[in-house]
Amino acid sequence: MSIRRTNFWVLSSVAAVMMLTGCSKQEAEQAVTLNIGYQKYGMLPILKERGVLETALKKQNVSVKWVEFPAGPQLLEGLNVGSVAFGESGEAPPIFAQAANSNLVYVANQPAAPKAEALIVQKNSKIQSVADLKGKRVVLNKGSNVHYLLLKVLEAHGLKLSDIEVVYLPPSDARAAFEKGAVDAWVIWDPFLSAAEHQIGARVLADGEKLVNNYQFYLADRKFAEAHPQVIQAVVNELNLSTQWVEAHQNEAAQLLEKPTGLDFKVLKTSISRMGFGVTPLAPEIIKHQQQVADAFFEQKLIPQKLNIDAAIIK
């Protein structure tokens, strides 16, 4: 059953706005609410807490509404059905979304952060190497950035997906299963990774170093991006400025996130230290890398058709 696609931005009735506010017809027609999807990880929650985006967009008569999601796949489903217009995710979610005919476009990315995701086991686990995972249960969020990490980790150690039992759960449920011992290993990203290390002593079996890049991508609804390029540019500009602030003020950034995330300072500080800093338009080599990720998922029959990533790049 197809889901009827709704507008992700809200233009108030011109007549109603004029009556209530006394603004001009031109001003009323330009009034826009930008719905932004965010997760606990990345720059968007920091941008939200700093409040600088609202100030920047007010000049364009644009207000901001923030919508939280547990992970990238859920966020991009929100973008697909129209509940958000802009969001951030790792490498894999936009590939799965594009394969499902989502009308998304890539607008920018952050540099590689390979240590911000990892395959972990309990501190007392008998599993000492990736090879020991054969026949074991490994949990992850399906279609998330760590899905690609798992493929590359297994490949680097001569294993295939069929050599393990994959369990698909969102982060909170995955953590519960991991702690109870219902699964043998967990592939997860920050800050959930950092929390598992600090709070329960989880041991890293393999992270993304020399295996994956783990870029963070900023994505938007194509129609909105084409209709409001100046809004998208303003968001990207503020994100880039915020990464510069975070890189120079990591303690303050961690403190800023303690209350909204409910995570300890040390968990957040570790997570922030593993980020890639800077937000820029996608360079050709980034697009090439993302195509390689998409091709890997197609080869594993995890997506139904071969994708052309370049078709989803904002021009």
Pairing of strands 216-221, 104-110: antiparallel
Distance (Å, rounded) from C-alpha 115 to C-alpha 265?
19
Beta strands in 213-298 (DSSP E): 216-221
**Which amino acid is it at 50?**
R
Q: To 5 degrees, how large is the angle CA 299–CA 305–CA 308?
A: 95
Whether residue 3 lies inside any domain: the answer is no
**Residue 1 domain-assigned?**
no
Residue 23 has pLDDT above 70, yes or no: no
**Percentage of the residues of the chain whose pLDDT score is greater than 70:** 90
87 beta partners: 37, 219
Supply the CATH number for residue 157's domain: 3.40.190.10
- Is pTM, for the whole model, over 0.95? no
Q: Give yes or no for residue 10 having a pLDDT over 70.
A: no
Residue 35 backbone phi and psi in degrees, to 5:
-90, 120
Residue 91 lies in a domain: yes
Instruction: Provide the pLDDT for residue 143.
Output: 85
Q: What range defines the domain where residue 185 resides?
A: 114-207
3-state helix, strand, coil in the chain (%, to 5): 50, 20, 35
Q: Are residues 237 and 95 in the same domain?
A: yes
Residue 221 sits in the same domain as residue 108: yes
Give, in order, the Cα–Cα distances in Å from 301 to each of 74, 100, 157: 21, 14, 20
Over residues 45-51, the mean pLDDT reads 95
Please report which confidence band the pLDDT of residue 30 belongs to, taking 50, 70 and 90 as the band edges. low
Asked if residue 292 has pLDDT above 80, the reply is: yes
Higher pLDDT, 163 or 13: 163
User: Are residues 225 and 291 both part of a single domain?
Assistant: yes
d(C-alpha 167, C-alpha 269), whole Å:
29
**DSSP secondary structure letter of residue 100:** T
- Closest listed residue to residue 139, CA positions, set 202, 229, 210: 202
- Within a 13 Å sphere around the CA of 190, how many CA atoms are in the beta-carbon half? 26
Confidence of residue 40 (pLDDT cuts 50, 70, 90): confident
pLDDT of residue 310 exceeding 50, the answer is yes
90-118: average pLDDT: 93
